[in-house]
Amino acid sequence: MFEFEGIDHVALSVGDIERSAQWYIEVLGFERRHEGMWNGVPSFIGKGTTAIALFPARTPNSKTAAHKDKIDPPIGRIRSVANMLHLAFRADCKNFLAAQEELKRRGINFHFQDHEICHSIYFRDPDGHELEITTYELR
């Protein structure tokens, strides 16, 4: 068997790559990665060991944008790709509370959930992707 170090990146389909990159940089403190590569598609942003690859939303004639359906090469059948429910980031208690204050300051609505083993807040990015910040440090 082999070992993973963790998730390298998550690929998100967005309406405007630059707008989304700026939002993640300004709101969540991400930084640009691999600038100047691939003519900006995808555009990588990251924080720590977490990265997001931003791809343009697919249009009917797009060949390079994110795809909703994929074709299985061996038999040529089309399969649907599962939709992501949410993307969760982990924080310690101090930063979990700071994130709530920052979201309030920016007028970004969020809701809190107590999952018994952790606490989470949920909110949306400019493209409507649901994001979660969770902490396992309960008071």
Q: Are 77 and 55 in contact (CB under 8 A)?
A: no
Residue 3, in any domain of the structure:
yes
Query: In which band, very low, low, confident or very high, does the pLDDT at 80 lie, cut at 50, 70 and 90?
Result: very low
Residue 64, in any domain of the structure:
no
DSSP bridge pairs for 46:
31, 51
Residue 49 Rama label (left phi>0; alpha psi -120 to 50; beta): alpha
Same-domain pairing of 95 and 51: no
Same-domain pairing of 54 and 90: no
Query: In which band, very low, low, confident or very high, does the pLDDT at 75 lie, cut at 50, 70 and 90?
Result: low
Check pLDDT > 50 for residue 98: yes
Q: Which domain holds residue 20?
A: 1-58
Average pLDDT over residues 71-91: 68
7-61 tens-digit pLDDT: 889 999 999 999 999 999 999 999 999 998 888 899 999 999 999 999 998 765 5
Average pLDDT over residues 63-74: 52
CATH of the domain at 33: 3.10.180.10
Average pLDDT over residues 121-136: 95
pTM of the model: 0.79
Q: How many domains does the chain have?
A: 2
Same-domain pairing of 47 and 88: no
Residue the block writes with tokens 């967005």: 14
Average pLDDT over residues 91-101: 95
Determine the pLDDT at residue 71.
Answer: 52
Residue 70, in any domain of the structure:
no
